[in-house]
Structure 1
Amino acid sequence: MYVLAVFLLPIVAVALVVRPRWRLGLRERLGGVPATEPGRPAIWIHGASVGEVTALAPIVRNLRRELPSHRLVVSTLTLGGRDAAAARLPEADARILFPLDAPWIVRRALAAVTPCLVLFSETELWPNFLDALATRGIPAIMVSGRVSARAFERYRRWRTLFAPALAGVRVFCVQSLESARRLVALGAPPSRIVVTGSVKAAALDGAAATDRLSLMRLGAASVPVLVAGSTHAGEEEAVLAAFDRVRAVAPSARLVLAPRKPERFEEVAALLRARGARFVRRSELVAGASWPVTAPVVLLDSLGELAALYPGARAAFVGGTLVPVGGHNVLEPAAAGVPVVFGPHTEHAGGAAARLVAAGGAVEVGDADALARVLVAWFTVPEEARRAGERARAVIAASDGAVAVTLAVIRGVLAESGAAARRA
């Protein structure tokens, strides 16, 4: 494990120089996190960023209700994730940045938090962190785990490092059989794997409630709106070209364009200006301001407001799918009853994208032209879009149960570790 840390730290050092934003919160990344008060047990809950933190909300809420005396510490890799945790997880006692995965840094963070249990979501496999937990006898549980084909190939190259760390995880709660098979191939004991499904669907109902913006508040509830969420470089051009074709058949249509990364807000604004698009930035809309009719496009240059803009939209495009990124949260628009269109790169969505397509609540497209054809159809025939949205919402309704199973696993592990501590 030390070899991996020595290999990674120079990369981290370069990143801190190249990306000044990464230097924010450096003390926490080096293990300087708030200490747990003596005598109070702590549960450490980790999610990579905004999407994972949102998905963990029902787990955190239930743990707070069932374990009022425990300290709940939520960690994320990103500053945006930490901000989302502050907004969406008020039940947590602390929200911190995850420590760099070097043995001496991990030891410092664990000494401060002193967790009796660690929960980590999706694909957050940090070898030194997991190894330190196993060494200290601290049980760890994977929550809503998934291993995409791309991640599997990456982890497999480091199997000799990951296999010992995986062996120390008490239970792997995974989204699909495919992820279960990949974890076994990486060295996870098959007897410790439970297929629960994704907990994201259960988190969606409350996710938008904490956000400030909505189509209704913008005065756009009565016009057809396309929400293009979490877009990446190369996708905005496709969306804007498709939107031009939509406006040809539905002149009142409007577009919410939400780049995934804040550092691209200026780049996308420049793209809109270069195309001669009439747009307004979200940051220019003061509290209570309506969406001006002279600007068909809103550039969502803010964080944490996307989910609240899906309800009432005519259609949604989910980004990271027309380019080989792996996709983002296809369940958010589906939960709002909005038909979804996305590209072929949906590895990060687990089986959710396939389920939506199979149910007729979403369409997968291969290129910009196909994207435009689907959107034109939905904006030309609103009833067709409405029926597709209902089918999408039905998929979400059928996804209930993952949280209950995951909580049962957590209760069991806590009971086992408590009994072991009493025997010792």
Structure 2
Amino acid sequence: MVFKSQSKSYNLRAICSQVVFDVLDKGVSLSNALVQCTNKLNDKDRALVQEICFGIMRVLPEIEFYIQSLMVKPLTGKNRIIHYLLMVGIYQIVYTRVPEHASVGDTVNGVISFRKTALKGLVNGVLRSFLREQDALKQQFLAKGNTTLHPSWFIKRIKHAYPDQWQAIIDNNNQKPPMWLRVNQQHYSAQDYQTLLLQHGITSTIDVKLPTALRLDVPVAINKLPKFTEGVVTVQDRSAQHAAYLLDPQNGEAILDLCAAPGGKTTHILELAPQANVLAVDIDSERVKRINENLSRLKLNADVIVGDGVKPEQWAKGKKFDRILLDAPCSATGVIRRHPDIKWLRRDSDISELAKLQYQILVNIWSYLKVGGTLVYATCSILPEENSLQIERFLKETNDAKLVEPVIQYLPSEEEGDGFFYAKLNKI
């Protein structure tokens, strides 16, 4: 890592540029990059870094357009980090309330953090040129730039899949996501928790279709949620909350949550059926820790193991399940507004590879479902290759599989949930 944030005199703009560098040049997810670079910051500084980095990922083509327009040649090699520092400065000028002189000054000072003092003049010059020319540059971007703020391969795919809805999908992807809560009804009803929120100055809207779902009118930090540490409430998107309801878990049943990390759906299953025998499996040992943390906070019990969904014979030990939730690894194209780095980390070629993996897991886990049992196939994707086409193929090739009800494809919505897909299958 080029920049260490442990110093008391850290420069927040330099930290932001390090995060963006790690995502775009190293392929690290934004969530992981933020953890690595902000773990020593106080809550206020961490929130600012998150705001800037998420914002840059949302509008990346616009910021890139401005920098390319203002520079004769790009910064490369060991100086590449300064390119991302320029991004931070320009993003602040365009999208934050930080005074222009402070945006320029703090960004220029960030050069010192990377021991690139010879480039201070360049950074200062580019930012001041942007201040003079920003109105003209904005017009040029609107005329010539990538105003969808999405990669071309993705635009092509969703235009094909959703010819009448693709623009709305793009528009919603470019917005900040709503904050949804799932109320643990072993403790509170949604109405009672809404009242508790209001007592803490937090207003919300109850979902008319889901008895556990509340949407905050304005997102807040988790530590501001009353009784969060006591397990009364979980942050979970509305669309994701449908998984456990579709699965319809019952007490005493053997239930498998496959690809379960970080455990939001595992805990929801147990909130609905506290006496179910739940096995939560995920291939990522680090993310498995999150499952255990969530179970502990909510005071729920499940068996949690590290395992490969492609090779259930290695961990299932011949056991069969009454219900299986397969939250298949996917492109995550339904949660772009929540994770905007997906737009720049995902590649068109990834989709076919993910589809192969999903189908392999689905086929291999099917034999571990009891006759008469239920499997819910889920993804946070909006691409048919990962969703409806997978289920169509599986039904054609699997004689004992029956679709219980029509498949569900949620698209990202301003006042509702993220993009999710569900198919509920029975073994006959």
TM-score (norm 1): 0.30
TM-score (norm 2): 0.30
Task: Please identify the structure whose Cα radius of gyration is greater.
Answer: 2
